[in-house]
Amino acid sequence: NTSSRMESNSKKNKIHLSDAAAELLMVQAPNASLNCRGVVPIKGKGDMTTYWLEDLPTQSCECDSDNINLRLNTKQEAFVAL
């Protein structure tokens, strides 16, 4: 799966995002700092545009649609709630 490939093609202490994950993160945390890694050959997936998460400022948001509270404190705690 894509998340496994992002991990295996990442670097130590870096958060590696697919294009789809980066788009979702920018909706949920628009102040997140992403750095485009460029097109990377991903085994079993082909060439993919990927991103590094450089910084995720502290913020809180509430998602009314599912009554979910999402708190993002640091990039180590970052997640995308679906």
How open is the CA angle 42-76-40, to the nearest 5 degrees? 15
Which residue is associated with the tokens 């993919």? Answer: 48
pLDDT value for 2: 86
Tell me the Cα Rg of the chain: 13
User: For residues 29 and 59, is the Cβ–Cβ distance under 8 A?
Assistant: yes
pTM reported for the whole predicted model: 0.65
pLDDT value for 12: 86
CA distance from start to end of the chain: 17
- Burial label for 25, CB within 10 Å (0-12, 13-18, 19+), is buried
Q: Per-10-residue mean pLDDT for the chain, 82 residues long? A: 85 89 90 92 91 77 52 45 37
